[in-house]
């Protein structure tokens, strides 16, 4: 069911540094045709950090760990968004399944990969409990012994509620050289982290200790180097447009991101691309630190 690419397989067998990357962001996080370049750049940044990238997605009835450029290019707007619940059906039905953070974590766990990079993780959507829309990213993170490097929680969510739920789930929220969790495009204004770390090595040491104590996933929040403030009015506009258009469930995040990218004149898109690359680089460094410990 799971096919691991040779390079990834060899790195894992040698106890080397590997970083899992998702494909939802490639397929649904950017305008059609633009996500593939973001995925490739993430892979380059993981390598620049010293690790082997393992991009995950469902293709041709298999869960693939490590994709060729041609395979990556098959993920687009028509791909299914594959969270943990969707992997099996996408594989059996031979559909292209673009894995979310949660879906990628589920695969990483089976493959033995302990670090993942994304833009911003999913969480509690605004408007809870009508209806209660809580990303499967959170439940999967709680039960997977892996470090997810992100620019914190996506600001289009209910960020304080997401932070509370992460605490309830026992997920350590580490701030990379910051005392507050980044909120995606913005570096400031988020909830306090549970611990601040100063380096990739320190993050890796905390993760090892957490796992020794029987813990599961950890979130490592890295503030974007070029934060973008003042997006909140556009987020409210985008959420209202989504509600008016009857968009719900898995479609909300892609709809809202597309609205923001369009209405900001591409500024959120530029910021999003940059932070994804920065997170991938740090994830590579964390994987190296874990591999050498």
Tell me: does residue 221 bind ligand PSU (CB under 6 A).
no
**Does the active-site annotation cover 110?**
no
Pairing of strands 173-176, 147-150: unpaired
Q: Is 153 helix (H, G, I), strand (E, B) or coil?
A: strand
Nearest-angstrom CA–CA distance, 20 and 239: 30
Minimum distance between the CB of residue 30 and ligand PSU, rounded to whole angstroms? Answer: 8
Which one of residues 28, 80, 259, 281 is an interface residue with ligand PSU (CB under 6 A)?
A: 28
Identify the residue whose tokens are 């012994």: 145
Residue from 81, 154, 269, 273 carrying the catalytic annotation: 154
The CA-atom distances, in angstroms, between 284 and each of 42, 100, 158, 218, 249 are 10, 19, 29, 16, 32
What are the percentages of helix, strand and coil residues in the chain, rounded to 5? 45, 20, 35
Judged by beta carbon, residue 21 or residue 289, the one nearer ligand PSU is: 21
Minimum distance between the CB of residue 1 and Mn ion, rounded to whole angstroms? Answer: 25
**Does the active-site annotation cover 81?**
no
Nearest-angstrom CA–CA distance, 35 and 96: 15
Q: Which does 155 bind (CB under 5 to 8 A by kind): Mn ion, ligand PSU, none?
A: none
Which one of residues 12, 20, 82, 101 is an interface residue with ligand PSU (CB under 6 A)?
A: 101
Tell me: does residue 158 bind ligand PSU (CB under 6 A).
no
Minimal CA–CA distance to 140: which of 247, 20, 49, 30?
20
Tokens linked to 145: 């012994």
Minimum distance between the CB of residue 16 and ligand PSU, rounded to whole angstroms? Answer: 25
Judged by beta carbon, residue 140 or residue 180, the one nearer ligand PSU is: 140
Q: Give the active site residues.
A: 22, 154
- Residues interacting with ligand PSU, by CB under 6 A? 22, 24-25, 28-29, 100-102, 118-120, 122, 135-137, 250, 253, 257, 272, 276
């Amino acid at each position: 069911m799971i096919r691991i690419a040779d390079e990834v397989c060899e790195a894992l067998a040698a106890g080397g540094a590997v970083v899992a990357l998702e494909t939802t962001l490639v397929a649904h996080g950017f305008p059609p045709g633009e996500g593939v370049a973001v995925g490739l750049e993430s892979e380059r940044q993981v390598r620049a950090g010293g690790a082997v990238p393992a991009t995950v997605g469902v293709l041709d009835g298999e869960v693939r760990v490590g994709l060729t450029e041609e395979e990556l290019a098959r993920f687009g707007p028509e791909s299914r968004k594959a969270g943990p619940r969707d992997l099996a059906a996408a594989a059996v039905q031979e559909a292209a399944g673009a894995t979310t953070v949660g879906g990628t974590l589920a695969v990483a766990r089976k493959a033995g990969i302990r670090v993942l990079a994304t833009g911003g993780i999913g969480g509690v959507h605004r408007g809870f409990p009508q209806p209660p829309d809580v990303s499967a990213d959170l439940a999967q993170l709680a039960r997977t012994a892996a470090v997810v490097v992100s620019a914190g929680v996506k600001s289009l969510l209910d960020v304080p509620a997401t932070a509370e739920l992460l605490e309830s789930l026992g997920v350590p929220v580490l701030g990379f050289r910051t005392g507050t969790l980044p909120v995606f495009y913005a570096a400031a204004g988020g909830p306090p982290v549970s611990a601040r770390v100063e380096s990739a090595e320190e993050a890796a040491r905390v993760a090892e200790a957490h796992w020794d104590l029987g813990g599961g996933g950890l979130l490592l929040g890295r503030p974007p180097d070029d934060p973008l403030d003042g997006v909140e009015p556009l987020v409210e506009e985008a959420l209202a447009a989504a509600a008016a258009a009857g968009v719900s469930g898995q479609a909300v995040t892609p709809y809202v991101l597309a609205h923001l990218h369009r209405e900001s004149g591409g500024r959120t898109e530029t910021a999003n691309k940059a932070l994804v690359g920065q997170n991938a680089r740090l994830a590579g460094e964390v994987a190296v630190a874990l591999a050498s410990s």
